[in-house]
Structure 1
Amino acid sequence: MSFDGIFTHAMANELNATLSGGRVAKIQQPYENEVVITIRAGRKNHPLLLSANPQYARVQITHIPFTNPDVPATFTMTLRKYFNAATLTAVHQVQNDRVLHFEFSTRDELGDELGLRLIIEMMGRHSNIFLVSERTGKIIDLIRHVSADQNRYRPLMPGAPYVEPPKQDKTDPFHDPDRRYHALEREVTPALSRAALLQQHYQGLAKDSATELALRLNQGDAGWDGFFAALATPVPTITAQGKKAVFTAIPYVSLTGEQSQYPTLSTMLDAYYEQKAEHDRVLQQGGNLIHVIKNVLDKDRKKQRKLQRTLEETEKADDYRIRGEVLTTYLSQVERGMTSIELPNFYDDNRPIKITLSNQLTPSRNAQKYFAKYTKLRNAVAHVHQQMQENQEEIDYLEGIMAQIDVASPKDLADIRLELQQQGYLRKQKTNKKGAKRQKVAKPDQFYASDGTKIWVGKNNLQNDQLTLHTAKKTDIWLHVKDIPGSHVIIDSHQPSEKTLLEAAKLAAYFSKARDSANVPVDWIEVKKIRKPNGAKPGFVVYEGQKTVAVTPDVELVDKLRNPPTK
């Protein structure tokens, strides 16, 4: 299910029940189009996520950790100014549209009551979040400013009156006393299904919701009423359909596949979006890094192919030498102006060999030309092999960086950017501050084995070096996927149990280029046997005497190991 009007209706009910009457405790904007407002209600802090992300626009209570920027955005500062000690009084949906209004009550500088409305419109690339004054109806600020040239229907700038999005001439399915769907039955044709008609005439129905309603209408009014009655007490469900997963507020009988159910809509969305949205943020924020690496990789791969062709050419070196010697032996038979000649090849039982000549050169110069080609190719062999090795090492290194970006969280990108600057792939950022602090490497991710043993996972090369060479004890156990780019994993124990060892190996396999493979070989060894060669690139180490175990990555286990085991 997409976050359509049906799901928005159910989410509004959940947020009203959980947050109404709560006070704003904290406001953060970890990402460009997303705000987290922590609301204290029922003696608990509830981080409310409002996302205007073009792909993942949604509203929910979230417990996915995030990293705040060093400097707050302008929209964040505006919200903090107006929402100081504000109380959330209500959450309501605009008809069955993907628009939610959060009503807040606070006081202005004079102590007078001030009504504020935070509006989120979840409409794909047109998604936006507005802070509006209830008194004047004007926009105080919004997360995405849009000029009049880009949107002529309504002004989307601070100070402009808030105008609702264009309305469609459709019926709110939650308020349909005339039961319009009865009349739609006469319009059903092979080319226009019942689900398509429902989408045309009812507001806020995504394709999967329309398909579900169309199927339930086989039971008549009872099916229709039953669907909307069930939404009053949601049973949040994710239905797995191969590699695709679908989330719904209630189990949909029209969907087939393995179903997982969750206690709230918000916890379900955390499970659904944690990896998906996080990876999208990494791709968005790390776009320039990926662009630089891909360009260098393309250049290196072309160079490798060119070197390979040169190497294949060197195999002809002896052929040039033989032709030169044959020419020199029978030089008296060669006349200037010839373009080719056949002569006995005394290296091959005097079988004739055809030799191409330049009619602009003397016979002697033609022979010298073949010897020169032979000498050049013979001398090139060692040089080409060395170049190919160095070029392949750079390809392997950059492919490793790409693999790290693939498993990175947004906080890891700063380390990867710093490493690329240190290695000369990116320009170092200029700073005007004297004595500016050196950028610290982010801490590795911490996990807990089933028996409570701590396991550390480096998410990039700088973290890997810091973890393995400086943080880990010499008696700790070190793990890494065999011969594949991936994370350094440290078990904080010199004698881990077999189960802990397997769990750490699965973490190493998951945080590697082989995360989608099965039976991934993982090396493990004591940290004291790890060494880093002089001049080696970040993250590169060597070791001997390791043991290897084969495991299959398990995303559910990874999520489970993020938290300490409950006693």
Structure 2
Amino acid sequence: MDAFLLKRIVAELSEGLRGALVSKVSQPQDREIVLTLWTGREELRLLVSAHAELCRIHLTTRRVPNPPSPPRFCQYLRRHLAGMRLAAISVTPFDRLVRMEFFSSRPDAEHDRTTLFAELYGRHANLIYANPDGLILEPLRTISPEESRIREVAPGIPYRPLPKPERTFLPEITPADAERIWSMGWEGLARVLQKEVSGLGQELAHEAAGRGKGGAVDLYAAVRELVRRYEEDDFSPGIGTLPTGKKRLLPFPCPEAGFVDFSPAPSANEAADLYYGETARNHEDAVLRQQIRSRLSALLRKERHKLENVSGDEERLEEGRKGGELGETLKANLASLRKGMAEFRGIPLDPAKTPVENMTRYFQQHKKARRAAEIVRKRKREVSESVYYLESLESQLASASTREDLLAVRQELSASFAPRKQGKKKPVKATGRTVPPQVEEHVFRGYTILLGKNNVGNDRIVKELAAPDDLWLHTQGIPGSHVLIRRTPGKEIPDEVVEEGARLAVFHSKARGSRNVPVFLAEARHVSKFKGAKPGLVRIAKYRTLNVR
């Protein structure tokens, strides 16, 4: 949020919120607070964010769930700010420092006046609550002298604003400054403007560069026009669209900055709420996707490591199985063996053991390997199924396009691989919604084709929706969706419909884009779940293979 838009937003807030009562304080995100304000006519929610990428202040209609327990900063504001009234709100000219002053007439109030400073400076953003004497009562982020040589932020010390950057202040720019900036334009005029002039955001820097591309005189005139619009409150806020489809929040139309469309808003607060609401949702989805991806990657590394260990056990068992043959050789040649021999016909012997003891040792190795073989095979099958299942979730995550899809993957992952908690195990009641089975329906040449969009949906196809004569398809050994082609009784399914089902199976799998992909084709009667199978895993009794080119 740049200084221009911020001025307009603060002006609207000052007009509509002066005297409003702070009835509630919440902190839905780490660096974001929401003040619920009663104006005497209606209840409004003021969002103040110190997020590095989304720092802003505006009225919001979006509701985000609060954490189970409020963070420290929220607790402090609830104790001291709730119940006070907003006396004034202002912003430093051509800057992003917002000052909110509160007062209280209650006799039990610890402070009759306090100030909340919102420093909306990107990665340096912070929220600082101070008393009438300017002493910091509580900051959102504490900054120690070791973290910053510029300024310390901690309770009990005087509040000091961040020092002004060593750049030309926007309203003080001169023709000589414009000439100097123009001469450096080979780096990119918009970039140089942002680098050399404080108070100018990215979009307005591009607008000034576009208007001033004719020379230093034009550049100076473009910058002065921006200063005029700020000083005269000449704003018409809205959302601009770039040729790439990306949207930006603007204080007024900026055609020279490359925007091909501009959607005006009734107010700056409404424009900000609309823009940042969508941006925040996208950011939350990206964070959620990354969290799921990290959890999946960690589990896959763990399960693949287990698989390597089990494969090593198999190799060691092969050595143990050879003990039977070696024992029989020693048994047939007991008369030739003597205690103290180190080997016989290439068979290692223990010199401290008698011939019979060496023979018995090899027979015991063979017996032990036979007993362990079935255990190792079963364990390898279980771990292989876990790896395959996690890879199927990885494929679902890659194709997830909505928040509901992401939540479905997370819920399924949590249900199958619940994190272990330290300490005594307590019975936990299942809470929350179950993972919804997502099944998509297609119609091709009059035939209905069902497609599982997640593992629970795949299970529903196999367990509930499939009739014995229907055709089931799935990529061979590759995680992906189950595909079911409905068969009309007494009629055969044409080859082109089967081929379409196979193409869908490949398209909705990790083999998307590959060539010559093998696909299982089976009647649904031959596909079943097995005991202990995770969602989406089945056993196929009879099938044939198609190759999708």
TM-score where L is the length of structure 1: 0.58
In 1, the alpha carbon distance for the partners of 2:210 and 2:124 equals: 31
The structure-2 alpha-carbon separation of the partners of 1:88 and 1:389, relative to structure 1 and needing over 3 Å to count, comes to: farther
Residue 309 of structure 2 corresponds to: 306
- Residues 381-436 of structure 1: CA deviation (Å, up to 9, x unaligned): 211112223334555677799989x9689999999999799x671126899xxxxx
The residue type paired with residue 85 of structure 2 is: A
- Residues 95-151 of structure 1: CA deviation (Å, up to 9, x unaligned): 4344323x3453333599966432212344532102234x43333332223345544
Residue 77 of structure 2 corresponds to: 79
Task: Say if 2:310 and 2:376, in contact at 8 Å, map to a contact too.
Answer: yes
Task: Say if 1:21 and 1:89, in contact at 8 Å, map to a contact too.
Answer: no
The residue type paired with residue 265 of structure 1 is: A
- Residues 314-360 of structure 1: CA deviation (Å, up to 9, x unaligned): 55677665555566557778899988887xxxxxxxxxxxx554484
Residue 349 of structure 1 corresponds to: none
Residue 388 of structure 1 corresponds to: 380
The CA deviation at 1:54 is: 4.0
Q: Which has the higher mean CA deviation after the structures are superposed, 364-373 or 27-36?
A: 364-373
> Residue 4 of structure 2: which of 6, 9, 12 is its match?
9
> Residue 128 of structure 2: which of 127, 130, 136 is its match?
130
In 1, the alpha carbon distance for the partners of 2:369 and 2:26 equals: 64
The structure-2 alpha-carbon separation of the partners of 1:12 and 1:45, relative to structure 1 and needing over 3 Å to count, comes to: farther
In 2, the alpha carbon distance for the partners of 1:397 and 1:420 equals: 10
Task: Say if 1:117 and 1:132, in contact at 8 Å, map to a contact too.
Answer: yes
The structure-2 alpha-carbon separation of the partners of 1:66 and 1:183, relative to structure 1 and needing over 3 Å to count, comes to: same
User: Is 2:196 the counterpart of 1:201?
Assistant: yes
- Residues 68-89 of structure 1: CA deviation (Å, up to 9, x unaligned): 2444444335434335252364
- Residues 520-566 of structure 1: CA deviation (Å, up to 9, x unaligned): xxxxxxxxxxx9999888x899999xxxxxxxxxxxxxxxxxxxxxx
Residue 158 of structure 1 corresponds to: 155
The CA deviation at 1:35 is: 0.3
The CA deviation at 1:165 is: 0.4
| 1:460-479 correspondence to structure 2 within 5 Å | none
The structure-2 alpha-carbon separation of the partners of 1:374 and 1:162, relative to structure 1 and needing over 3 Å to count, comes to: same
Task: Say if 2:26 and 2:35, in contact at 8 Å, map to a contact too.
Answer: yes
Task: Say if 2:239 and 2:249, in contact at 8 Å, map to a contact too.
Answer: yes
- Residues 241-260 of structure 1: CA deviation (Å, up to 9, x unaligned): 59xx563525575669x979
Question: Which SS does the other structure have where 1:384 is aligned?
Answer: helix
Pairwise CA RMSD: 5.7
Question: Which SS does the other structure have where 1:378 is aligned?
Answer: helix
The residue type paired with residue 63 of structure 2 is: P
Q: Which runs of 5+ in 1 are unaligned?
A: 343-354, 432-436, 447-459, 469-473, 476-481, 487-512, 519-530, 545-567
Q: Which runs of 5+ in 2 are unaligned?
A: 266-270, 437-453, 466-473, 482-507, 514-527, 541-549
The CA deviation at 1:12 is: 3.3
- Residues 359-382 of structure 1: CA deviation (Å, up to 9, x unaligned): 847777766665554444333321
The CA deviation at 1:164 is: 0.8
Residue 550 of structure 1 corresponds to: none
User: Is 2:272 the counterpart of 1:265?
Assistant: yes
The structure-2 alpha-carbon separation of the partners of 1:165 and 1:366, relative to structure 1 and needing over 3 Å to count, comes to: same
Task: Say if 2:34 and 2:47, in contact at 8 Å, map to a contact too.
Answer: yes
The structure-2 alpha-carbon separation of the partners of 1:295 and 1:194, relative to structure 1 and needing over 3 Å to count, comes to: closer
Q: Which has the higher mean CA deviation after the structures are superposed, 315-324 or 408-417?
A: 408-417
The CA deviation at 1:204 is: 4.2
In 2, the alpha carbon distance for the partners of 1:39 and 1:87 equals: 9
The structure-2 alpha-carbon separation of the partners of 1:38 and 1:180, relative to structure 1 and needing over 3 Å to count, comes to: farther
Task: Say if 1:19 and 1:88, in contact at 8 Å, map to a contact too.
Answer: no
In 1, the alpha carbon distance for the partners of 2:309 and 2:301 equals: 12
Residue 248 of structure 2 corresponds to: 247
Residue 495 of structure 2 corresponds to: none
The CA deviation at 1:217 is: 2.2
Question: Which SS does the other structure have where 1:218 is aligned?
Answer: coil
In 1, the alpha carbon distance for the partners of 2:105 and 2:349 equals: 94
Question: Which SS does the other structure have where 1:108 is aligned?
Answer: coil
| 1:334-483 correspondence to structure 2 within 5 Å | 355-358=346-349, 360=351, 371-392=363-384, 425-427=420-422, 441-442=431-432
Identical counterparts, % of pairs: 20
The CA deviation at 1:276 is: 1.1
Task: Say if 2:411 and 2:435, in contact at 8 Å, map to a contact too.
Answer: no
The residue type paired with residue 427 of structure 1 is: Q
Task: Say if 2:136 and 2:158, in contact at 8 Å, map to a contact too.
Answer: yes
